[in-house]
A = this chain, B = another copy of it.
């Protein structure tokens, strides 16, 4: 691609044809939300004002994404030093590009006070260092239900963009990848500039020690969470319905690919769509992970550049904060490829959305 907005980090196989195909579809965004008590382990996640409060983030992200405000609590969705949740960027993009969006609750601690879909077997995940990440029955049911939803809601005319909001998700992604035998230690991303690799590794190893971990479902039950397995089921169903799929996320989406691969699902209609921040992150390695897990899957990324913004909170994105989440990378990729949205338009939309927040805070 000659574009400076969207670039390719990993070609995979048949990248040009895959990009051409997804560019012809009508994008629809599906945000999977869920909680895992793994995020309450101090130091694992900074996606919330305290470890316990990270449990609320997926619900609040959903409320903001759909309505532009947080409904369940009277809070502004940014850190004390003004770093906005990625839902702010994602909302700016879906509004600027008129991308329809649906939230799907796979096991959120907080049920968002906006219309959303639910998987009937939704279940919050456990602390994987101390107990099961999810019951094996729930893992299987969530996969099957999400597959049904993907099959019944997608069509070949769509481009299905799937994002996630699950604090602690890179740790459970690491668990899934390691449990399935991939060399993932030290390679998953984090939402901050300091990636707590050793802590994540020790949490996951505690989990893996507790279990036999003989196969896919046992691994998910042992060290997984409700979101990755649900996304995998949904993607399989949407692919059966003939839709091309953009996994809008970072290294967590490689765990989704690992689940799909272990479940014997074809990966030909999938690309990863992420951000420059994630691809250039020195503390993680999505390309190495994809090469190992699913080398046929291309990685596209959007070259957001928040360095010129007049707000410290947004500029922090350039310093390794956030990087990914709520699908913000993949959304900008499809907004560019399908809707022809230019980088100026994207950045202006983000700035306006952020200034709307500041107005309410002040």
Contacts and interface: CB of A to CB of B under 8 A. Distances in A.
Interface residues of A, number: 33
Interface stretch (A37-45, A114-122, A180-188, A200-208): A114-122
Contacts of A149: 115
Nearest to A63: B120
A126 B287 CA distance: 57
B115 A241 contact: no
A67 B148 contact: yes
Interface in A72-106: 98-102, 104
A26 interface: yes
Contacts of A271: none
B120 A152 contact: no
Given A148-B67, A155-B26, A157-B26, A118 B120 contact: no
A229 to B, nearest CB: 14
Given A102-B153, A157-B26, A148 B66 contact: yes
A106 to B, nearest CB: 10
Nearest to A102: B153
Given A98-B241, A241-B100, A114 B153 contact: no
Contact of A155 (B98, B153, B155, B242): B98
A143 B177 CA distance: 44
A120 B67 CA distance: 13
Q: Of residues A146, A149, A152, A156, which shows the largest number of chain B Cβ atoms within 10 Å of its Cβ?
A: A152
A81 to B, nearest CB: 30
Contacts of A158: 26, 100
B114 A102 contact: no
A113 B141 CA distance: 11
A152 B66 contact: yes
A104 B118 CA distance: 10
11 contacts: A26-B158, A98-B155, A98-B242, A100-B241, A102-B153, A114-B148, A115-B119, A115-B149, A116-B118, A117-B118, A157-B157
